[in-house]
Homo-oligomer: A and B are copies of this chain.
Amino acid sequence: MTVDVVVLTLREGRLEVVLIERGETPYLGAYALPGGFIRPDETLDEAAARELAEETGVDAAGHIEQFHAYGDPLRDPRMRVVTVAYLAIIPDLGAVKGGSDARTAQLVGVDGLLSRRPTVELAFDHDQVLRDGVEAARTKLETTSVATSFVGREFTLSQLRSVYEAAWGIPLDPGNFRRKVLASPRFVTPTGRVAAPGPEGGKPAELYRSGSRRLIALDPPLRRPRRRGA
């Protein structure tokens, strides 16, 4: 019985995931999601948060949630291992340090990992776990205020929009996005202050904070545009 954690963040407009380099067989030296065995006296949630902190130094601060269990008898060549997979979403923290047991932890672009010719091969069935985790995050962006977990404490609506654009892989209309976000009660609250424009100029953007400490349901949901046909 193990837990594995898909930790997503946004860096330079790209969706990235925290990977560790395995220090043990099997898959020694390969990249994998952080995770490990559940201790007898802890809940699944506690195990996920603990393993994440131990192996990567990341504090998920309660923003961690289970999304699927994987139990194929052959998924681990050593023995039967059932894993409960978790999703955590954090702002860009700069560097991610290696964990207590000296494994390296680093951020890797999700697009490359999930493309037809992956940049890196992942251990076990972690490519499937990552795929499902990213899909869970995309859906969560539609129905909850989780997007604010990707950005810092104060942010502009452009930054919030870039979260959706990176996760969904499509551009969104700035005006329509603004209207929808401001129409959702308690999604964001204005601070009254403005941010300095970027190096390319432009009007200074208003700064907002998350409208609630906890995750809230968006009503109406901010629906992802559906593909035509099918």
Contact = CB atoms under 8 A, between A and B. Distances in A.
Interface of A: 1, 38, 40-44, 47, 66, 68-73, 80, 82, 84, 219, 226
Contact of A72 (B43, B73, B226): B43
> How many copies make up the complex?
2
Nearest to A68: B66
B219 A73 contact: no
A219 B82 CA distance: 34
Contacts of A40: 73, 80
A80 B42 CA distance: 10
Given A66-B68, A68-B66, A219-B226, A1 B82 contact: yes
B84 A82 contact: yes
Nearest to A81: B1
Contacts of A47: 71
A145 to B, nearest CB: 14
